[in-house]
Structure formats: C-alpha cells, structure tokens
Amino acid sequence: MDYDHQAELLKALANPTRLKIVHSLLSTGCRNVGCMERGTGVSQSCISQHLQKLKAAGVVTAERSGNEVYYRAASPEVARLVAALFQEEVSNYVL
C-alpha cells in the first residue's frame, strides 16, 4: 500500500476550497474554470491556483480544447473518497 500517495491525496483535499472544487467537478460535471467560478462562488484566479495544486497532487487531470482547459477527477479512487466524505453514492457523480 502506498501511504505517501494516500497522504498526498488527503492533504490536497484537506483545504475547503479544493474540496469544494472537486465535489463540484464530480457532482455537477462542470469542467472548466468559468463554470466552476459560477458554481462555487470562488474567483477564477483562486480556482486556477487550487486546480494547479490538485493537478500536482494527482487529484484532477486537465485536457485542453482550443482556448479552454477542462478538468476532471483523476480516478475513481478520488470519487470514492469524496463520496465517503459527503455520504453520497459514487453512481451520482459525473466521472
């Protein structure tokens, strides 16, 4: 078992704003920064900074399409963890 990886994952999600962003990604399917800004009430620059930390920790992945960057949860593991935190079903999430 990779305890270092698990600890990094938990550390990345331990910030309320990052947790809100990841939960929003999973629950609404909102994938770009502009959509996340409207859905979370957090500024675009703040979201971008947190997304970079989430990406570095392997929590989210990014894919560029033209001028837009679209984000998604990096793995079902992330979805299961967030679902457990919020006592929700993973099947309700957009993966």
pLDDT of residue 88: 96
Q: Kindly report the number of other CB atoms within 10 A of residue 31's CB atom.
A: 20
- Average predicted confidence (pLDDT) for the chain: 92
Radius of gyration of the chain (CA): 13
Average pLDDT in the 35-58 region?
A: 92
Strand 68-73 and strand 60-65: the pairing is antiparallel
Taking 90 as the threshold, does the pLDDT of residue 40 lie above it?
no
**CB-count burial class (<10 Å; 0-12, 13-18, 19+) for 32:** middle
pLDDT of residue 94: 87
**What domains are defined for the chain?**
3-92 (1.10.10.10)
**Would you list the DSSP string of 46-66?**
HHHHHHHHHHHTTSEEEEEET
Look up residue 84 and give its amino acid.
A
Q: What angle do CA 92, 46, 93 make, to 5 degrees?
A: 5
